[in-house]
Each structure stands twice: as C-alpha cells, then as structure tokens.
Chains A and B, each alone.
Chain A
Amino acid sequence: MQAALTVSGLGKLYKLYDSPRARLRALLTGRDTHRPHWALHDVSFTLERGHCLGVIGANGAGKSTLLKLIAGTLQPTTGSVRLGGSGRVTAILELGAGFHPDFTGRENLRFASALIGISPAQAARLEDSIIAFAEIEEAIDRPVKTYSSGMVVRLAFSLATAVEPDVLIIDEALAVGDQHFQKKCVERIDSFRRNGCTILFCSHSQYHIRQVCNAALWLDGGNARLMGPTEMVLAAYETHVRLLDANMQPTEAAATDLPAAAARKVLDPGRRGTITEVSIGPLGQGAPPLLQGDTLVVSVVAQAAGDEQPNVAVMLEQVGGVGITSVATHVDGAHATRQADGSWRATVTFPELPLHSGEYVVSAYLFDAQGILVYDEWFKYAKFLYASPARLPGLVSLRHHWS
C-alpha cells in the first residue's frame, strides 16, 4: 500500500538570539551568535491511507512544530516530509486567521478559498454547501466583525474541510463552536477517515485520541519517545505523567482532600447535558467513608436536552493516582433509563470488588448518545475507603490458582 505521508529525520532548530539587535546583525553580516534550540529532533514515521495518528506530549514537546512542519508553514532544518496521492494537505491550526473584520463572510470566504488553493470556479460551486454547513445563511453578507466568535470558527471550519484532503492536520481544534456543531465536526472528520483520508491529530484530550486514532506518537522534549498502537502509547504516557506528578507534588493527598463539590466542574447554561447527582454506596461512617461489604454501586443521574439518551461512564482510581478501571454504557451496550421527572439514571454495580485495602476515588462522565462528546464530568467526585479481607500488599486481587 502506498504511504500517504512519509516523515523522515524531521528536525527543527530554532536560533535563539539574545536580542532582536543580535538577530539583525546576524542577518546583515551573516555572523551568527545564536544559541541553538531543537524544538523537534529526528522524527521519522510513515502513515498509510486512512490511518489516524494522535500526537501527545507535554506543552513544548514539539507537537505544534511537528504539525506545522508537515503542514508546510514552517521550514524544516533537517529531514523531509513526503506526501503520496494528490498531496493535498489541510491544516486546521487556527480557525479564521485570515479573515478581515470589515469584509462580509462571503468576501472572506472567497479570499480564504484562494488561500488554501481552491480555484475560483470550485469555490463558487462549493459556496452554498460551505455556508449551509456553517449554518450562517442569514449572516453571510454581513461584515465578519458582527459575527460571534462561534460563527467565525464555524465558517472557517466549514471552508477548511469543504474539500476532502489526503492528509488532515488538526491541532486542538475540535473545540469548535457549540456542542451541536462540535458533533458535526467530529462526524465530518470521521467520514473523511472512512474515505481514506490520513489524519494527524494533536490533542490533550486522551478520550478523543483513543476514540479517533489507531496509532499514537508521544513526543518528549522534541524527540519521539514512543510510537505505536494508541492504547500502548497512552498507557506509557499516562504512567510517565503520573510519576512526574508524584515526584513534583508529594502532598497530592492534600489536594484530593478538597470538598467533593470543589472537584465538580462549573457548568455553563448552554450545555446539552449535565450530571445532577453521583452517589456511591453502600457507605458507612468516616471521612472518607468506609465501603460496607464487597459490592460497590455507583449511580449517576443526569439531565439531557430533548429526548437524547445520554451515555454514562464511571472511572475508579486509587487515591494518589493509579487508575483501576473505567466502564461506560456505550462500550458495554447498556443504557441509562429515563426517570419519571425526565432525568436519566445509570447504575453500575461492581460485585466482589477485587481490590486490596486502600482509599479510592470515583469520577463520573456524561456523553452524548453516540459516546463521542463529553457533556459533563465530575472528576474525582466521591472517595471511599475499602477494607479488603486480603492481608497481603497489592492493588487488585487477580484470579489465580496454585499448582
């Protein structure tokens, strides 16, 4: 199979000057006095058609540099980027960057089309569908300065994805507009992928990376630390982050002792779904309370707009960091049930809890009907103590037998 994208030995050196004056001197005399900084160093990989690569890493790890080098906005210092197929690359790095506030949406659309290499004839053909997708029919002939920020990014996203590319580059851009439009964006990107478009996706949302990508690349200090199947790379990255946090914050227990309400995310009124209650049990007394028996029951109550049946996920972690398990209705094929007052309730039971003694914390998430968008999350909301009959050290009791 022909590679859609081949990146070999890609590197980017930034020349850091002590002052802009030194920069001008270097420019005029050719004598360089810079300090070198490799933002990206010797990164190589190959992607086939239809593959989706998630790029993860801390801030400053070189994610954006990598995407910009592939998009062609930055010139590489070493190495090369080779594109297969027709070589059309669309980069969603920042939406609406080229828009002029005094021009109408339609005028900006025409200019921005030329900018991304759409011919005037093709732009004229696509115009109606772009405007329809952005849902700004009535505002299209008004100056862009009268638009809300949501309208601007909707128009820009709609244009950027009007022509299906061979390689699509997305830099943290999925948070586009309201949740209704976000869903349309995710669906459009998903349909590109099904049609064979290769996607590079950089996000801090590990949920979205898990959802969309079949491979992940972990960048660390400009170097490729690990590349492989998404789950393997994410697991390694999560462990790394957790170790880093543990080293940097020895008093994390103090941080998680905050009142439960403080961990609740503040909800904006325009949300399409909210969690209204999370309860765990059966619990006894104490702070945190002790789980009674060996069965944990977590019940999540939520509100959703209209008749949408939301999905619910529950995550169980050891306090201080180690994740134990996550379960979700859309993964298990289960459903939240409608209550008499119109709210939704999902209850998950973990019988014969195979945990060792310790302190545990539960997070709850609310998703849309497809399990794509996160409507709400109550992160590390409820804590409990568990006293296991097992007396030996450990985290979970695995099924085992001796021979």
Chain B
Amino acid sequence: MQSLRKEIASLWSARSLLAVMVARDLKSRHAGSALGFLWLYAQPLLTIGAYFLVFDIVFKLRLGEGAPTRAMGAYLIVGIVPWLAFTDAIGRGMVSLVEAGALLQKNPMPPVLFPVRSVLASAAIFLPMIVLLVPLYAPNHGFSAALLLLVPLMALAVLTWCLLAYALAILAAALRDVIQVVTFVLGVGMFLSPVLFPLTMFPEQLAWLLWANPMTPTVLGAQGILLKGSAPGAEVWLTMIVWPALLAVLLDRLVARSREQLIDWL
C-alpha cells in the first residue's frame, strides 16, 4: 500500500489547496448562470420531485410487508438523495483528471487532488440535504439516538466514493471508453439498488447483484436510520468496510502502475 500512502500524504500536504479547489469547483458548477448556487440544489430537488410525482402521486404505489414504510414517496426520498450524491461524485470525479489535463501538464500538483475535489464538492452539496431529511423523518421515531450513526455511515460512503472516483479517473485517462461505460452503469444502477424498492421485493437469485452495487449498504443504512430510527445491521457495516478496503487495494496497484505515465495520458 506504499503508493496509496504516498497519495494520502501528498493530499494532506496540499489540503489548503484542496479546500480552495473544492470552493472553486462548487462555484464553477453554476458560474455564469442567473440563479447562481440555487442550481446546485434545484437540479437534484427537481429530479427527486419528478420521481416522487410519478411513483407516489400518479401511480400511488404503496409498499407491502417487509418495507420500512408504506408510503412510496417517503421511502424513495431517503434512498435517492445518497444515490444522486453518489452518481454526481463518481460522474464528475471520473472525468476530473481528463478535464484537468492542461492544468496538470503545466503545473506541478498531485493528480489525486482532482477526483477528491470533485467528490468533496458533490458531498458538500448533497450531505446537507441528508441532514435536512432528519427533521422530516425523526418525529416518527422520536429522534432515535441511531440518527448519530448517519455520521460514520456517510463518512465511510464518501471515503468509498473518493477511492472509486480516483480509480475510475485513472482508468478513464488510460482509455476514454471507460467514461461511456460507467456513465451507462450509473444511469441504470439505481434499479440495481434498494432505492426504489425494498430488498425483499427483488428475486432472490439476483440479490448478489444488489450487493455488487457499492451504494446498497449506504442506502440500506440510511433507510433504517431515517425511516425506523434503527441502527444498521452488521451486513451493512461489513460491506461498508469491505468496499473501501477492496478499492484501496485496486487503487494502490493502479497508482503504482500509472504514476510515471499518468500525466502523458491526459
């Protein structure tokens, strides 16, 4: 894990630059628009609103036995906010190196800054939205102490996103087709997660597909905490740790093999 340790060290020594880059990334996402930073929130809120309208109001879907709540809308929102955060972070993080090519070729700076910047900027937009969900759901279970577990849950999620985004950014630098494939997978991935339907509604033989989705434990954890006020089970915490561990091993290899050449590929 020597390569990854070096990356973490260079990230730490450039932390003040990272903070500037995150602020600038957030600003550049709405630069030149009239509504300004409102767009950062309008975009995901409109997406959530559209899903809510279709599933809860138009089709009046109600979840059956085994679901943490009956109302489709309430169920949907809890899962979709972390899911949108994930797709935003990975989508932007994956292209961050390719987009920063000119900058990296002319300025001596660690490449790791770019995917991490994208992920942190996405987290800065979406994590407050998850916090805003707390007062909406917590009265149902009398502000359970389990709410505090949202902090380690989301911290592990953001760590996973950083590792995955950096790994994909390196692969995208080597072969641009990676971007097309991952964009497609992110587009259909929500249907292979418990965002729209509870785990129990999936055919049993396809359950492994759900666990191959790195967002499944995060979504399950958030649903348990917010909807029922209950602490996530062991399978959630275990997968939340296994994912970043596996990604760290993969990333360490990728960094070691690409270190010398990465900038030339951009």
Interface set, chain A 98-117, CB cutoff 8 A to B:
98, 100, 102-103, 107, 110-111, 114-116
Contact check: which of B21, B175, B261 meets A21 at CB < 8 Å?
B175
- Indicate with 1 or 0, residue by residue over B171-189, a CB within 8 angstroms of chain A CB atoms: 1001111100000000000
A75 contact set on B, CB distance < 8 A: 259-260, 263
| Complex CA distance for A94 and B105, rounded to whole angstroms | 9
> How near does chain A come to B188, taking the closest CB pair, in angstroms?
22
Decide if A20 is an interface residue (CB 8 Å cutoff).
yes
Q: How far is the CB of B179 from chain A (nearest CB, A)?
A: 12
Are B175 and A73 neighbours in the complex by a CB distance under 8 Å?
no
Q: Which residues of B contact A (CB under 8 A)?
A: 16-17, 20-21, 24, 27-28, 31-32, 102-109, 170-171, 174-178, 253-254, 257-261, 263-265
A102 touches B31 (CB 8 A): yes
Interchain CB contact under 8 A, B258 and A115: no
CA A14 to CA B261, docked complex, whole Å: 7
- Contact in complex: B108, A91 (CB < 8 Å): yes
State whether B171 touches A24 (Cβ < 8 A): yes
Q: Which parts of A133-184 form the interface with B (CB within 8 Å)?
A: 143
A residues neighboring B (CB under 8 Å): 13-15, 20-21, 23-24, 26-28, 30, 68, 71-75, 77, 89, 91, 93-94, 97-98, 100, 102-103, 107, 110-111, 114-116, 143
State the CA gap A26–B171 with chains docked (Å): 11
| Cβ B27 vs Cβ A103 within 8 A | yes
Nearest Cβ on chain A to B203's Cβ, whole angstroms:
31
Residues of the B chain whose Cβ atoms lie less than 8 Å from the Cβ of A26: 257
Contact B102 A97 (CB under 8 A): yes
Q: Give 4 closest A-B pairs by Cβ, nearest first.
A: A72-B108, A102-B31, A24-B175, A102-B32
A20 → chain B closest CB, angstroms: 5
Known: A100-B24, A103-B28. A30 touches B257 (CB 8 A): yes
Q: Shortest CB–CB separation between residue A166 and chain B, in angstroms?
A: 14
How far apart sit A14 and B263, CA to CA, in the bound complex (Å)?
11
Assembly CA distance A71 to B176 (angstroms): 28
Given A30-B253, A30-B257, CB of A97 within 8 Å of CB of B174: no
For residue A89, which residues in chain B have a CB less than 8 angstroms away from its CB? 108
A115 touches B175 (CB 8 A): no
* Chain B nearest Cβ from A121, distance in angstroms: 12
Known contacts A73-B263, A100-B24, A115 near B109 by CB under 8 Å: yes
Residue contact B20 to A111, C-beta cutoff 8 Å: yes
Q: Which A residues lie within 8 Å of B263 (CB)?
A: 73-75
Q: Which A residues are in CB contact (< 8 Å) with B32?
A: 102, 143
Q: Which residues of A contact B16 (CB under 8 A)?
A: 114
The answer to whether B31 touches A103, judged by C-beta atoms less than 8 angstroms apart, is yes
Kindly report which residue of chain B lies nearest to residue A17, judged by CB atoms.
Answer: B174
Taking A27-B254, A116-B107 as given, write out 12 further A-B residue pairs in contact, using a Cβ cutoff of 8 Å, ordered by the A residue number: A24-B174, A24-B178, A26-B257, A27-B171, A30-B253, A71-B108, A73-B106, A74-B263, A91-B106, A102-B31, A102-B32, A111-B21
A93 to B108, CA, bound (A): 11
Chain B residue nearest in CB terms to A108: B24
- Chain A residues with Cβ below 8 Å from B24 are 100, 103, 111
Q: Evaluate contact between A23 and B265: CB separation under 8 angstroms.
A: yes
**Can you list 23 A-B pairs with a CB-CB distance of less than 8 A?**
A14-B261, A14-B264, A23-B175, A24-B174, A24-B175, A27-B254, A27-B258, A28-B171, A30-B257, A73-B105, A73-B106, A73-B107, A74-B264, A75-B259, A94-B102, A94-B106, A97-B102, A103-B24, A103-B31, A110-B20, A115-B17, A115-B103, A115-B107
Interface pair B104/A77, CB less than 8 Å apart: no
